[in-house]
Amino acid sequence: MASEKRILIVYDDPDVLALLRTGLGAPDREIETVSGALAGFRRVAAAPYDLILASVAWIEGMHKIRPNAKVAAITAASTPDSVILALRHGAIAYFAQPLRMAMVSDMVERALIGDPAQDDIELLSDRADWLEIRIRSKLDAAERIVQFLRGMCLNLAAPMRENLSIAVREILLNAIEHGAGNDPEKRVMLSLVRTDRAILFFVRDPGKGFSFEKLEHAAVSDPNGSAIERAELRERLGLRPGGFGLLMTRQLVDEMIYNQAGNEVLLVKYLSE
């Protein structure tokens, strides 16, 4: 029988501690909760954990004690600065309150059964108006970075924030799957640039690019084509289910611009006055 996975949750809010303990509980997990940074540091120093969830402000201290620990950040008041702080200190995920337990549970499951490394997500530029990241070509890394991007965009209206998250997720998954061939030794570049009038996402993958005319497996090349035939083709090609990503992304942003080679894309969403 596999040994229990040990999870430590360090946070000041007793309601959040109770929510996480209940929501993440499972027969194969041992969950400890503690309030306060000092008590949390003592627990981390005393023994290793498979996963630690802690306030953004305590992430750096946790990693100084256990440099290789998997630590996910939680914050009550998300700001671009708190997102950058979490990225800078190696958090594998980022969650702002009110917590979406389905997303937290999914991340915890992935972290416990997988191997999310701190260098899966490398911070290259840490300005609030210009965030630049290099992402290892792993679908799990793309899923995790979307949580950080949501935190960078919390001042946007909820529908716009969710649309942008979906659009960027689809572009990243395409870049990893098609551009990098799901090769974890390769990296995808992502930039988020914020101006007074627009928010822009730039993604570059290491592949040779593509032509829309040659994407028989994607809905964007033939939006009126048979979904069944497209699904069968993607299965034969060993691709994940879907094929509607680019078509959907075009509808979620104001502009989607590819370079001539097809390995760089710019997403633009204009902001209301």
What fold is seen in the domain 1-116? Answer: Rossmann fold (3.40.50)
Whole-model pTM?
0.82
pLDDT at 47 (0 to 100): 94
Same fold, 1-116 and 117-273: no
Residue 154: band (very low, low, confident or very high) from pLDDT cuts 50, 70, 90: confident
Task: Flag the least confident range among 76-90, 151-165, 242-256.
Answer: 242-256
Q: Which tokens sit at 114?
A: 């997988």
Longest dimension (CA), the chain: 60
Q: Which tokens sit at 38?
A: 């000092």
Query: How far is 54 from 45, CA to CA, in rounded Å?
Result: 15
The tens digit of pLDDT for each residue in 43-52 reads 999 999 999 9
pLDDT at 88 (0 to 100): 93
Cis ω before 98 (30° cut-off from 0): yes
* Other beta carbons within 10 Å of 49: 20
For residue 129, give Cα distances in angstroms to 21, 84, 110, 134: 36, 11, 30, 17
Q: Do residues 264 and 203 lie in contact, with contact meaning Cβ atoms separated by under 8 Å?
A: yes
The tens digit of pLDDT for each residue in 209-256 reads 865 555 554 544 455 444 445 455 555 555 555 556 677 899 999 999
Range 117-124, long-range pairs (CB < 8 A, 24+ positions)? 118/68, 118/90, 118/92, 120/92, 120/144, 121/87, 121/92, 121/145, 121/148, 122/187, 123/84, 123/87, 123/88
Does 3.20.20.70 match the CATH number of domain 117-273?
A: no
Highest mean pLDDT among 30-34, 65-69, 93-97: 30-34
pLDDT at 215 (0 to 100): 52
pLDDT at 183 over 50: yes
Q: Where are the domains of the chain?
A: 1-116, 117-273
